[in-house]
């Protein structure tokens, strides 16, 4: 009897919220893809390094102002003949201020990991660690199903083997598809 009551209760809640969600004016999902510039400033190093690459994200929107994002990126550079690659995979909440239909500001806090590798003359080494990105950006509406991400700016923390790199920055821009 409890299973039947629980099933009816869950079904009723889904119907109520489902009909309200249908009336809402926000995308259920957003897919972002584009360019990224990353500045890594290693602790104790006299200078930092500039990386170029790609950024992609998928966000499922729970309501008009809250979504859950999965963010993936790759950044690449060759330094004195050494090929350096970094990939991140982070997840977390995204908050939106959907007050105007022509632009959508957002903030997010993303947590996950990174994989870094270096290669030189056929030899290579790699490591994995914790990644955290705190930031936000602005999407400009092109149509009901597409926007341009004018800018996404993130502070990036990377931690691996007792070393924490916390003076890092990432800019991303590209296209957002809304469903």
Residue ranges of domains in the chain, CATH in brackets: 27-178 (2.40.160.20)
3-state secondary structure (DSSP) of residue 46? coil
**In terms of C-beta density within 10 A (0-12 exposed, 13-18 middle, 19 or more buried), how is residue 15 classed?**
exposed
pLDDT the model gives residue 43? 79
pLDDT the model gives residue 134? 98
Does the pLDDT value for residue 21 go beyond 50?
no
Question: Which whole number is the average pLDDT over 107-116?
Answer: 98
The mean pLDDT of the chain is 90
Joined together, the tokens standing for residue 14 give 């889904």
pLDDT the model gives residue 25? 86
Selected residue with higher pLDDT from 20 and 97: 97
pLDDT digits (tens, 9 = 90+) for 49-91: 999 999 999 999 999 999 999 999 999 999 999 999 999 999 9
């Amino acid at each position: 009897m409890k299973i039947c009551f629980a099933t009816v209760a869950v079904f009723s809640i889904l119907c109520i919220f489902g009909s309200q969600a249908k009336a809402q004016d926000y995308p259920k999902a957003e897919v972002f893809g584009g360019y990224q510039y990353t500045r890594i400033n290693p602790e104790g190093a006299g200078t930092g390094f500039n990386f170029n690459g790609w950024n992609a994200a998928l966000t499922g929107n729970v309501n008009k102002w809250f979504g859950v994002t999965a963010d993936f990126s790759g950044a690449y550079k060759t330094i004195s003949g050494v090929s350096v690659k970094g990939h991140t995979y982070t997840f977390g909440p995204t908050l939106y201020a959907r007050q105007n239909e022509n632009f959508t500001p957002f903030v997010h806090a993303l947590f996950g990991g990174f994989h870094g590798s270096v290669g030189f003359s056929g030899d290579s080494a790699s490591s994995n660690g914790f990644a955290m990105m705190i930031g936000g950006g602005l999407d400009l509406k092109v149509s009901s199903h597409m926007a341009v991400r004018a800018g996404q700016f993130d502070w990036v923390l990377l931690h691996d083997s007792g070393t924490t790199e916390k003076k890092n920055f990432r800019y991303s821009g590209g296209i957002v598809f809304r469903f």
